[in-house]
A and B are shown apart, each in its own frame.
Chain A
Amino acid sequence: GAVVSQHPSRVICKSGTSVKIECRSLDFQATTMFWYRQFPKQSLMLMATSNEGSKATYEQGVEKDKFLINHASLTLSTLTVTSAHPEDSSFYICSAPPTGGIWNEQFFGPGTRLTVL
């Protein structure tokens, strides 16, 4: 199956700093990627849909100025958590369906665990 990578896998930062998380599709192109957030013992909450070459679409309640998404190429989307605070500590997961495969299986990255002190 297709592979999606995320970097870093784990990050600890001080309150007020910004953190960038990368999501890469390694062996396929993805015009669309999805960013999810998962709090402990809870499900994945869709944060935004990242679209290559255009603005991301954010879910209701997700602050677009706080969670900056850039989909610069067909294989890379980045999520920047700006001015992170302890309540932003969470597990962030990206996913991508192969181009043309929006209705098929999506492939998930391994996740990034963010801890804000």
Chain B
Amino acid sequence: SQQGEEDPQALSIQEGENATMNCSYKTSINNLQWYRQNSGRGLVHLILIRSNEREKHSGRLRVTLDTSKKSSSLLITASRAADTASYFCSTSGTYKYIFGTGTRLKVLA
């Protein structure tokens, strides 16, 4: 069963703009991870944030986690056409990982 809901479902922006995606989940977690998937391909791990962390950075990526609201956000700054992909959050809870519904990001050159 799906645990997470992501919004927006689809996002279209111009190159150079920032893209923000949100993920909400339902149960307690140990960590939350963000992945990218190019069309028809496997998943690429982007960043992991633990339940006791509130913010994490990796290059142009910034992830926040609010466990009280059971939500996380992924910010991609200065987006590039190559960032066009689907982005998923995944939560680790009771010995399994559940994925959110995903956000399809399109960055226009």
A residues sitting closer than 8 Å to B (CB atoms) are 1, 32, 34, 36, 41-46, 49, 59-60, 91, 93, 95, 102-111, 113
Contacts and interface: CB of A to CB of B under 8 A. Distances in A.
Given A108-B42, A110-B42, A43 B33 contact: no
B45 A105 contact: yes
A113 to B, nearest CB: 7
B64 interface: no
Given A43-B88, A44-B88, A91 B40 contact: yes
A45 B95 CA distance: 15
Given A60-B1, A104-B31, A104-B48, A46 B41 contact: no
Contact of B102 (A32, A43, A102, A111): A43
Interface residues of B, number: 24
Contacts of B97: 34, 46, 95, 106
Contacts of A105: 33, 45, 48
Contacts of A32: 95
Given A43-B88, A44-B88, A34 B2 contact: no
Q: Give the one of A60, A103, A109, A113 with max B CB within 10 A.
A: A103
Q: Give the one of B33, B95, B102, B104 with max A CB within 10 A.
A: B95
Nearest to A51: B95
B43 A46 contact: no
B103 to A, nearest CB: 10
A108 B87 CA distance: 15
B99 interface: yes
B98 interface: yes
Nearest to A6: B42
